[in-house]
Amino acid sequence: MQNKGLIRFFAIIFAVVSIYQLTYTFITNKVEDDAEAYAATVVPADAENKSQLKSEAVKSYLDSVAKKDVWGGYTDYESAKKQELKKGLDLKGGINVILQISVKDILIGMADESNDPAFRKALAAADERIKDGQDDYINYFLEEFNKIEGAQLASPDIFGTPEMEDAFEIDFQSSNADVAAVLKEELKDYLTSALDVIRKRIDQFGTTQPNIQQLGTSGRVLIELPGETDVKRIKDILTKAAQLEFWHVYKQGEISDYIVASNNYWKEKLATTSNVVEADAVAADSTVVEEEDPADLSALLDGDDETSEEVAETNLDENPILGRLVRPSFIGGLGVFRASDIDLILDYLNDPQSRARLSPETRNAKFAFTLPTLDENLGFEVSDLFALVGNAEDEAPLAGGVITDAKQDYDLGAKVIVSMTMNGEGSKVWEEMTGYAFNNRSQVAVVLDNTVYSAPSVTTGPISGGSTQISGSFTVQEAKDLATVLRAGKLPAKAEIIQSDVIGPSLGQEAIDSGLMSFALALILVLIWMFFYYGRAGLYADIALVVNILFIFGALASLKAVLTLPGIAGIVLTIGISVDANVLIFERIREELAKGKSQADSIKDGFNNALSSILDANITTLLTAIILYIFGTGPIQGFATTLMIGILTSLFTAVFITRLFVDGYVKNGKTLTFASGVTKNWFRNVNIDFLKKRKVAYLVSLVVVIGSIASLAINKLNLGIDFSGGRTYVVRFDQEVNATEITKILSSEDFLGSAEAKTYGDANQLKISTKYGIDQDDSVISEEIESKLYVALKDFLPADMTQTQFADVGSEVKTSGIMSNFQVGPTIADDILKGSIYAILGSLAVVFLYILIRFKRWQFSLGAVVAVFHDVAIVLGVFSALYKVLPFNMEIDQAFIAAILTVIGYSLNDTVVVFDRIREFINERTGMAFGETVNRAISSTISRTLNTSLTTLIVLLAIFTFGGESIRGFMFALIVGVVVGTYSSVFIATPVMYDTIKKSNGKIEADKKLEE
């Protein structure tokens, strides 16, 4: 092997980079363990809302160390957190939702609520087409509108409004194509704005490491919130339409008396109750302003007193509000508070008993904070408090729907500003508001979703004409963000959660434990087998395998990929792929040694001759993994990601790392046998007439495939919620329960009417599925189902368990109740099903073309595809026949589709290795009868086939046994697929190729098309 020094250099570099990237994970894990330990010391064990208080205490601790050095000058926690290996929701617990923003509502808003018959007819038709189609709503609308004779999008009753003309130069002469281009571009901008609004809402919620992605231009947004389980609050935040409003702002002197009065009220109240856990736990480790006279709020906030600038500890029981002030506000607010105290301060100020102390002039005051920002000097996030001038109806003087455009701009002094324009109605109100603010030297607050984004003063008099500027200490990016917010407010659109997955932390921790156990066991068994079978050479393969795993985890961390439970399965499956490459190499070296070649030549030729098979086998698997990534979502993409990374790292470690060790050992004349004393004569001189048995194999396969098809027709498949729509709940009990009995109870008309309960893992845990209320409002139905479940199952639950405790997925140590829930709407279920079908057909087409290109004959492609259809049919048939019998989940869901695609990849991997050897023998042995050539080629690969299949099965069985209930069905599909795939590569793919290829007098001539 040439350039050994270069390969060694890159191997060391890759290893160092991988270790460096994984160091961040060790750092964050240590800090988070410290945070958990801290929370355990400040939250009483008997606290009523212990889970919430503990979460708040952990967040408070992490906020306090966000910018502090946590690793000997190496890094701070916040920086390390951005670089760590991220865990998926199935390992950490949390919420995964897909949000559908209504494109229809956006179009109606852009058309100013038009009731034009053609417009409404096109919308109605688009509503119907989107139910069964894969295209975007906007395209269906435009297609249907263009079908209506004489209909013009630029009509004054639709999109030819004065506002659209001013903003986009649309007039009555604009063609439908011109208007369509404008609509698509504006829709893209709106969806970007909506995504920004959602991101800011999530940031306000305080979730760590949220993953928010726009899914194409369909209006769908994927949101992953690790560690969060407050489903109702998340749904409320995500699904309400954006509320952009403009409010007058109270000056400090008008509201300061109330702040002091509220502070004194809470001071007295907290002093008279023994339950001060909430105030203390949330404020733990807070830093606040020390002040001498808490009654003098103005003196404290003016900043004249030096002590008002100092951050020090104080007694929060004595001053529950004033004691939490960090510093004066520099933007005209009432004061700056720690971001982690926002909810508590609002609770204090909005408490009915406290608000009774407001003066008649301020009795309708609304309190709101700015978005949290990091204070570099303090090292934590802070937020400014504002008091907005409300009214009895709690309505803002001006709503965001009046804005027609907003953009980042510059004033005459090159200062960053935001320019905005309003319609006629908004211009009039805006002139009144700015006139009032100018005359009273007050501010106007720009508020989105009860968060103050800007509160500019009016210094030049009333602003008329609807065009105005908002100035402040903006950066360019901040001004662009504010402009985005302003634009987002003009087109309110409802949002609907069409898929949600909630996993409690208890279930997540169990998934980690079972995943690591299966991973460790599979690795140990494979390492032992390789050493047993190949001796010292197997030890070198083991070292390469461990290095490969290091590279995989390092690559995942570097790419900021998310590690999921299926991802762990993908890594473990990669062990089998890595072993396969080494097995191919070692078997070829043993063949060369058996021919009498020298050890050096045998090693050289063995590596070179095996390379073609290794590349072909891995490329076919890589292609299926890529297709899986394209069509899959969430955890399935995690599986595909780790599989793709594993294939690439396996090639490097097997071909180059193993070679370094082998060459290093034999360079001084040492002998390497590539076998142990026990296995040195295994599978030598194998010469089986496989083709002679092909008719029997055809008959057996035909019977099994027909039986599978019959089972599919009679029993059908147990379609999961992914493909049918509905909800599933994993419910744990403190006793063993009978799934049939629970199904009968839940299916009664008193409860859900139709439901299915299945044992999920141990006998005290069930997976309950129902389609109850799937077409109705999610937030209402979810609570109704949880209530019905609680009432129906109450006799099987602990006697003291309340409904709240039963439904609280977020409880950290939970032994009974709902452990996780999953919901899929009927629309996205149909999309998932179609996407899965496309994924399978697409993988078959791509692989057919690849094999055709590599082997230059369609007969090879045909044999491979027939074998794949054979394997898929049998796996489906097994699931159809056994899902009512076997004691684990065998639903057909996205994970199952991933398994099918993996089976396709494995089957093709096996088949390509055999085909590669056949092609090699054809080109080398031109005088041999074609049938004998094929038999000898299969016989020569039998050792590799059995070795790879055995190691892969060891891996899969380890995961199946110890990997957790959630992926047991997935693993079972792979196990069946490996067994069937190994059989089909020899007895289906090769015979089909043999029977269809062109023969010449029982022989096949050397064909240039078959040469490499």
With 80 as the cut, is the pLDDT of residue 809 above it? no
CA atoms within 13 A on the CB side of 3: 6
User: 3: left (phi > 0), else alpha (psi -120 to 50), else beta?
Assistant: left
The span from the CA of 263 to the CA of 325, in Å, is 12
Q: At 1008, is the pLDDT very low, low, confident or very high (cuts 50, 70, 90)? A: very low
Higher pLDDT, 863 or 775: 863
Would you list the DSSP string of 48-95?
TTHHHHHHHHHHHHHHHTTTSB-STTS-BHHHHHHHSPEEPHHHH-EE
Closest CA to 942 of 910, 972, 969: 910
Question: What per-residue confidence (pLDDT) applies to 799?
Answer: 82
Number of C-beta neighbours around residue 533 at 10 A? 23
Four-point Cα dihedral 418, 424, 426, 432, nearest 10: 100
Question: What per-residue confidence (pLDDT) applies to 47?
Answer: 65
Question: What per-residue confidence (pLDDT) applies to 314?
Answer: 47
With 90 as the cut, is the pLDDT of residue 535 above it? no
The span from the CA of 162 to the CA of 148, in Å, is 24
Q: At 336, is the pLDDT very low, low, confident or very high (cuts 50, 70, 90)? A: very high
Four-point Cα dihedral 190, 193, 194, 200, nearest 10: 180
The span from the CA of 901 to the CA of 898, in Å, is 5
* Lowest-confidence region among 124-138, 253-267, 353-367, 642-656: 124-138
With 90 as the cut, is the pLDDT of residue 778 above it? no
With 50 as the cut, is the pLDDT of residue 545 above it? yes
Token representation of residue 284: 């733990």
The span from the CA of 1004 to the CA of 929, in Å, is 7
Question: What per-residue confidence (pLDDT) applies to 944?
Answer: 78
Contact 399, 245 (CB under 8 A): yes
User: 44: left (phi > 0), else alpha (psi -120 to 50), else beta?
Assistant: beta
C-alpha 776: how far from its chain's center?
Answer: 26
With 60 as the cut, is the pLDDT of residue 317 above it? yes
Higher pLDDT, 128 or 197: 128
Contact 899, 927 (CB under 8 A): no
**Continuous segment of H or E residues that includes residue 618:** helix 599-631
Closest CA to 944 of 686, 569, 630: 686
Contact 7, 660 (CB under 8 A): yes
Higher pLDDT, 118 or 943: 118
Question: What per-residue confidence (pLDDT) applies to 1000?
Answer: 42
* Lowest-confidence region among 124-128, 450-454, 748-752, 929-933: 748-752
- Start-to-end Cα distance in the chain: 21
Question: What per-residue confidence (pLDDT) applies to 357?
Answer: 92
Look up residue 886 and give its DSSP letter. S
Token representation of residue 712: 């599919």
The span from the CA of 504 to the CA of 228, in Å, is 9
Mean pLDDT, range 380-408, rounded to an integer: 85
Question: What per-residue confidence (pLDDT) applies to 488?
Answer: 55
The span from the CA of 598 to the CA of 311, in Å, is 78
SS (H, E, C) 801-856: CCHHHHHCCCCCCCCCEEEEEEEECHHHHHHHHHHHHHHHHHHHHHHHHHHHHHHC
Contact 563, 87 (CB under 8 A): yes
* Lowest-confidence region among 54-58, 207-211, 348-352, 524-528: 207-211
Q: At 657, is the pLDDT very low, low, confident or very high (cuts 50, 70, 90)? A: confident
Contacts for 46 with CB less than 8 Å, ≥ 6 apart: none
With 80 as the cut, is the pLDDT of residue 895 above it? no
Mean pLDDT, range 600-609, rounded to an integer: 85
**Continuous segment of H or E residues that includes residue 874:** helix 858-882
Look up residue 887 and give its DSSP letter. S
With 70 as the cut, is the pLDDT of residue 451 above it? yes
C-alpha distances out from residue 463 to 13, 409, 472, 584, Å: 62, 18, 17, 79
Query: What domains are there in the chain, each with its CATH number?
Result: 4-84 (no CATH), 104-188 (no CATH), 251-390 (no CATH), 397-492 (3.30.1360.200), 501-677+688-714+830-1010 (1.20.1640.10), 726-823 (3.30.70)
Question: What per-residue confidence (pLDDT) applies to 283?
Answer: 40
Mean pLDDT, range 463-486, rounded to an integer: 72
With 60 as the cut, is the pLDDT of residue 627 above it? yes
C-alpha distances out from residue 606 to 376, 474, 527, 610, 911, Å: 61, 66, 22, 6, 20
224-243 residue pLDDT tens: 777 666 666 666 666 665 57
Contacts for 436 with CB less than 8 Å, ≥ 6 apart: 248, 442
- According to the per-residue pLDDT averaged within each range, which of 177-186, 321-330, 592-601, 917-926 is highest? 321-330
The span from the CA of 798 to the CA of 52, in Å, is 22
Question: What per-residue confidence (pLDDT) applies to 337?
Answer: 93
Closest CA to 405 of 428, 433, 432, 426: 426
**Long-range contacts (CB closer than 8 Å, 24 or more residues apart) made by 879-886:** 879/717, 879/718, 879/973, 880/708, 880/711, 880/712, 880/715, 880/716, 880/717, 881/707, 881/708, 881/711, 881/715, 883/715, 883/717, 883/718, 884/715, 884/718, 886/972
948-1003 residue pLDDT tens: 788 878 878 877 887 666 677 878 888 898 899 888 888 998 898 888 875 544 44
Question: What per-residue confidence (pLDDT) applies to 956?
Answer: 81
Mean pLDDT, range 528-555, rounded to an integer: 87
Closest CA to 769 of 834, 811, 718: 718
CA quadruple 184, 189, 193, 198: dihedral sign: positive
Q: At 387, is the pLDDT very low, low, confident or very high (cuts 50, 70, 90)? A: very high
The span from the CA of 936 to the CA of 946, in Å, is 16
Closest CA to 458 of 474, 477, 443: 443
Q: At 289, is the pLDDT very low, low, confident or very high (cuts 50, 70, 90)? A: very low
Question: Hey, is 289 helix, strand or coil?
Answer: strand
C-alpha distances out from residue 77 to 28, 63, 86, 292, Å: 6, 9, 14, 35
With 50 as the cut, is the pLDDT of residue 221 above it? yes
Question: What per-residue confidence (pLDDT) applies to 292?
Answer: 35
Question: What per-residue confidence (pLDDT) applies to 1001?
Answer: 42
The span from the CA of 980 to the CA of 953, in Å, is 12
Higher pLDDT, 63 or 691: 691
Closest CA to 830 of 98, 126, 102, 132: 132
Q: 916 burial class (0-12, 13-18, 19+ CB within 10 angstroms)?
A: buried
Mean pLDDT, range 380-402, rounded to an integer: 87
Phi, psi of 933 (to 5 degrees): -60, -45
* Lowest-confidence region among 266-275, 305-314, 525-534, 832-841: 305-314
- Relative to beta strand 451-454, strand 366-370 is parallel
251-275 residue pLDDT tens: 988 999 999 999 999 888 887 754 4
824-850 residue pLDDT tens: 765 555 666 666 677 777 777 877 787
Number of C-beta neighbours around residue 386 at 10 A? 26
- According to the per-residue pLDDT averaged within each range, which of 122-136, 205-219, 863-877 is highest? 863-877
Mean pLDDT, range 65-86, rounded to an integer: 75
The span from the CA of 329 to the CA of 339, in Å, is 14
Contact 974, 899 (CB under 8 A): yes
CA quadruple 115, 118, 119, 122: dihedral sign: positive
Mean pLDDT, range 608-616, rounded to an integer: 81
- Relative to beta strand 562-563, strand 86-87 is parallel
C-alpha distances out from residue 45 to 39, 42, 51, 207, 385, Å: 11, 9, 10, 25, 33
Of the chain, the percentage scoring pLDDT greater than 90 comes to 8
Contact 316, 323 (CB under 8 A): yes
Of the chain, the percentage scoring pLDDT greater than 70 comes to 78
The span from the CA of 1003 to the CA of 928, in Å, is 7
Mean pLDDT, range 423-439, rounded to an integer: 89
Q: How confident is the prediction for the chain on average, in pLDDT?
A: 77
Mean pLDDT, range 532-550, rounded to an integer: 88
- According to the per-residue pLDDT averaged within each range, which of 385-399, 725-739, 900-914 is highest? 385-399
Question: What per-residue confidence (pLDDT) applies to 736?
Answer: 83
The span from the CA of 355 to the CA of 349, in Å, is 7
The span from the CA of 318 to the CA of 290, in Å, is 12
Contact 860, 993 (CB under 8 A): yes
Q: At 281, is the pLDDT very low, low, confident or very high (cuts 50, 70, 90)? A: very low
Question: What per-residue confidence (pLDDT) applies to 384?
Answer: 93
Question: What per-residue confidence (pLDDT) applies to 366?
Answer: 93
Q: At 313, is the pLDDT very low, low, confident or very high (cuts 50, 70, 90)? A: very low
Contact 889, 631 (CB under 8 A): no
Question: What per-residue confidence (pLDDT) applies to 288?
Answer: 35
Higher pLDDT, 293 or 616: 616
Closest CA to 238 of 620, 13, 493, 607: 493
CA quadruple 529, 531, 535, 537: dihedral sign: positive
Q: At 282, is the pLDDT very low, low, confident or very high (cuts 50, 70, 90)? A: very low
Contacts for 239 with CB less than 8 Å, ≥ 6 apart: 99, 494, 495, 496, 497, 778, 779
